[in-house]
Chains A and B, each alone.
Chain A
């Protein structure tokens, strides 16, 4: 299957700082990427849909000014968690479609102290 990478795999930051997470499709181009958040022992919840060259579409309840998404190329989308707080600590996973299938990155564990 297609490969999606994420960087970093984990990050610890202080409250109030911003953190950027990168998502890359390694062997295919993705006009659309998706960002999910997963809390312990829960399912994946879609945060936003990232569209190359245009604004992201956010799910209800997700603050677009807090979770900045930039999809600057067909292989790269970034998620920036601005002014992070402890409640933002979670597992963030990106995903990209290759044809009809959808592949996920390995996830980024964010811990905000």
Chain B
């Protein structure tokens, strides 16, 4: 199935640093969602974006819906050890109830003290 290009694939940063990751698609999306997945668990929704250009924050997390509707980025400020995990972007091409989410390849974040 289709996947979104997500980068970087992995990051190793120090506690307190800011993190940035992005996702690009060849298709136009109406919705971008960002999830975090811890080992052995399901993805947890972090931020949802619905309009091109939209910038939304959730605590130390900020995400933007790209103007072209083909990309999105997620920033994490002042990272802490519990930020460790895999971050996935996901996009939806239309708004119907059965419309499917396409997932990014994931960004594995590791934080050192």
Chain A bound to chain B:
yes
Residues of A within 8 A of B (CB): 1, 4, 6, 31-32, 34, 42-46, 49, 51, 57, 59-60, 91, 93, 95, 97, 100-107, 109
Complex Cα distance A91/B42, Å?
9
* Residue tally, chain B, CB below 8 Å to A: 24
Docked-complex contact B33 and A31, CB < 8 angstroms: no
Docked-complex contact A102 and B33, CB < 8 angstroms: yes
Q: Contacting B105 at CB < 8 Å: which of A1, A6, A43?
A: A43
Complex Cα distance A107/B42, Å?
5
Docked-complex contact B1 and A59, CB < 8 angstroms: yes
Question: When A44-B103, A45-B1, A49-B98 are in contact, do A101 and B41 touch as well, CB less than 8 Å?
Answer: no
- In whole Å, how far is B1's beta carbon from the nearest beta carbon of chain A? 6
Complex Cα distance A32/B33, Å?
18
B28 touches A (CB below 8 Å): no
Residues in B whose Cβ lies below 8 Å from that of A43? 3, 88, 103-106
Residues in A whose Cβ lies below 8 Å from that of B1? 45-46, 59-60
- In whole Å, how far is B103's beta carbon from the nearest beta carbon of chain A? 5
